[in-house]
């Protein structure tokens, strides 16, 4: 299902198909560092595409936000300055508030449930969302469930979060989650986060375990709690005109290799979490695994803020997809 129509949104735009034998190089931007599984999967994808097309189609990857922040690179992809961009849709909730549904706190039961929603029950909604924002879906990669790290104390209950100074990304979902738990939040650019943690500007932050490990936050944080409060997606999308400019064969190869790489990234992130936690423990970090129930019970104010921001109709529609994935 995920492969069918993955690049079909680009069709019919009137762009001439690529000539046989012509060489095309696509630019792909993402924010990840070299040790992240989705970074590595994207590199394998690019190599496989170049090999299968005999060098006729290649992908130049610009990692580590080299071309700008996620919102900036999404805008570049919308304009066609970048052909492909990997990002989390809530990164652009400033331009489309409905993106916030993807990060509603404690809506997913686990990885399998989240993948079923984003890859199956909510796929038509996601296709329409991306098309409305000038992009076409290609494949789901992985960022993961977020954990909370800090330098002050272990976190086992919601009370342990109260009073912590936490860095949050610009997305309302993360801000609302921690404010509902009594934390003081501050928005800091990701590129400045390590310094903010090491200097004590903030006590802690939240990110998926793979991101914490890849960015060595364990060097400046003494505690990490697997709160799994929000699932953060990571999607490979493309400029429709760039995709439509590919031959049918090259477009199919791109889709096949992207879907394969995305599944590999999802499996590697999940399989690697416990190993990464063990390595961080070996570096002196105290790992706690709190019961999510009491945290979820505190989310009423966060859900209310998000529903008001997103809109009740969109919220209810999305929650229908979330529930459908539990029974499918």
Per the model's pLDDT, the better-predicted residue between 18 and 43 turns out to be 43
Range list for CATH 3.40.190.170 in the chain: 8-12+23-143+233-271, 145-230+273-327
Measured CA to CA, the distance from residue 43 to residue 61 in angstroms comes to 8
Residues 6+ apart with CB under 8 A from 213: 35, 276, 279, 280
Taking residues 272-291, report their average pLDDT.
97
Contact 115, 140 (CB under 8 A): yes
Q: What is the pTM of this model?
A: 0.90
Residue 126: CB atoms within 10 Å: 21
Q: Which residue blocks in 35-157 are alpha helix, DSSP H?
A: 37-52, 70-79, 111-116, 123-132
Measured CA to CA, the distance from residue 109 to residue 326 in angstroms comes to 9
| Structure letter (DSSP) for residue 148 | E
Measured CA to CA, the distance from residue 88 to residue 146 in angstroms comes to 13
Closest by CA position to 227, among listed 318, 321, 144, 145: 145
Residue 4, pLDDT > 90, answer no
pLDDT per position as a tens digit, 244-253: 999 999 999 9
Residue 325: CB atoms within 10 Å: 21
Taking residues 118-122, report their average pLDDT.
97
Q: Report residue 230: phi and psi, to 5°.
A: -140, 140
> What is residue 19's predicted lDDT score, i.e. its pLDDT?
52
> What is residue 14's predicted lDDT score, i.e. its pLDDT?
43
CATH tag, 145-230+273-327: 3.40.190.170
Residue 179, pLDDT > 70, answer yes
The alpha carbon of residue 197 and the mean position of all alpha carbons in its chain are separated, in whole angstroms, by 22
> What is residue 8's predicted lDDT score, i.e. its pLDDT?
43
Q: How confident is the model at residue 163 (pLDDT cuts 50, 70, 90)?
A: very high
> What is residue 15's predicted lDDT score, i.e. its pLDDT?
43
CATH tag, 8-12+23-143+233-271: 3.40.190.170
Taking residues 30-42, report their average pLDDT.
93
Residue 10, pLDDT > 80, answer no
Residue 303, pLDDT > 90, answer yes
Measured CA to CA, the distance from residue 232 to residue 91 in angstroms comes to 10
> What is residue 12's predicted lDDT score, i.e. its pLDDT?
40
Closest by CA position to 285, among listed 205, 201, 186, 217: 217
Measured CA to CA, the distance from residue 260 to residue 266 in angstroms comes to 10
Residue 66, pLDDT > 60, answer yes
First to last CA, the chain: 14
Taking residues 181-196, report their average pLDDT.
95
Closest by CA position to 45, among listed 238, 260, 250, 270: 260
Taking residues 283-298, report their average pLDDT.
98
CA distances from 252 to 10, 271, 280 (A): 12, 29, 40
Mind giving me the DSSP string for 157-196? SGGGGTT-EEEE-S-HHHHHHHHHTT-EEEE--GGGHHHH
> What is residue 327's predicted lDDT score, i.e. its pLDDT?
87
Residue 13, pLDDT > 60, answer no
Taking residues 158-174, report their average pLDDT.
96
> What is residue 7's predicted lDDT score, i.e. its pLDDT?
57
Q: How many CA atoms lie within 13 A of 118 on its CB side?
A: 32
Residues 6+ apart with CB under 8 A from 294: 157, 158
Q: How confident is the model at residue 175 (pLDDT cuts 50, 70, 90)?
A: very high
Taking residues 169-182, report their average pLDDT.
96
Residue 185, pLDDT > 90, answer yes
> What is residue 307's predicted lDDT score, i.e. its pLDDT?
98
**β-bridge partners, 206:** 148
Q: By percentage, how much of the chain surpasses pLDDT 90?
A: 88
Mind giving me the DSSP string for 45-65? HHHHHHHHTTTSEEEEEE-TT
Residue 119, pLDDT > 70, answer yes
Taking residues 115-137, report their average pLDDT.
97
Average pLDDT along the chain: 93
Q: What is the largest CA-CA distance in the chain?
A: 63
pLDDT per position as a tens digit, 305-326: 999 999 999 999 999 999 999 9
């Amino acid at each position: 299902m995920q492969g069918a129509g993955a690049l079909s949104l680009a069709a019919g735009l009137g762009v001439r198909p690529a000539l046989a034998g012509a060489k095309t190089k696509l630019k792909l931007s993402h924010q990840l560092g070299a040790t992240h599984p989705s970074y590595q999967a994207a590199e394998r994808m690019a190599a496989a595409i170049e090999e299968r097309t005999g060098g006729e189609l290649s992908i130049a990857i610009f990692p580590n936000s080299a071309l700008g922040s996620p919102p900036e690179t999404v805008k570049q992809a919308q304009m066609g300055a970048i052909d492909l961009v990997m990002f989390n849709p809530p990164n652009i909730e400033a331009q489309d508030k409905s993106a916030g549904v993807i990060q509603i706190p404690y809506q997913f039961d686990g990885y399998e449930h989240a993948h079923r929603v984003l890859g199956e029950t909510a796929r038509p909604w996601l296709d329409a969302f991306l098309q409305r924002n000038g992009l076409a879906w290609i494949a789901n990669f992985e960022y993961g469930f977020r954990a909370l790290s800090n330098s002050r104390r272990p976190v086992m209950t919601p009370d342990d979060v109260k009073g912590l100074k936490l860095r949050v990304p610009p997305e309302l979902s993360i801000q609302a989650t921690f404010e509902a738990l009594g934390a003081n939040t501050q928005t800091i650019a990701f590129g400045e986060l390590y310094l903010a943690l090491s200097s004590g500007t903030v006590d802690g932050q939240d990110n998926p375990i793979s991101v914490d490990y890849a960015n060595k936050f364990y060097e400046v944080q003494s505690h990490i709690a697997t709160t799994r409060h929000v699932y953060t997606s990571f999607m490979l999308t493309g400029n429709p005109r760039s995709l439509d400019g590919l031959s049918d064969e090259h477009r199919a190869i791109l889709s096949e290799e992207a879907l394969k790489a995305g599944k590999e990234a999802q499996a590697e992130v999940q399989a690697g979490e416990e190993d990464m936690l063990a390595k961080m423990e070996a570096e002196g970090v105290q790992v706690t695994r709190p019961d999510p129930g009491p945290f979820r019970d505190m989310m009423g104010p966060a859900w209310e803020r998000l529903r008001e921001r997103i809109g009740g109709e969109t919220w209810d529609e999305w929650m229908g997809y979330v529930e459908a994935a539990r029974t499918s």
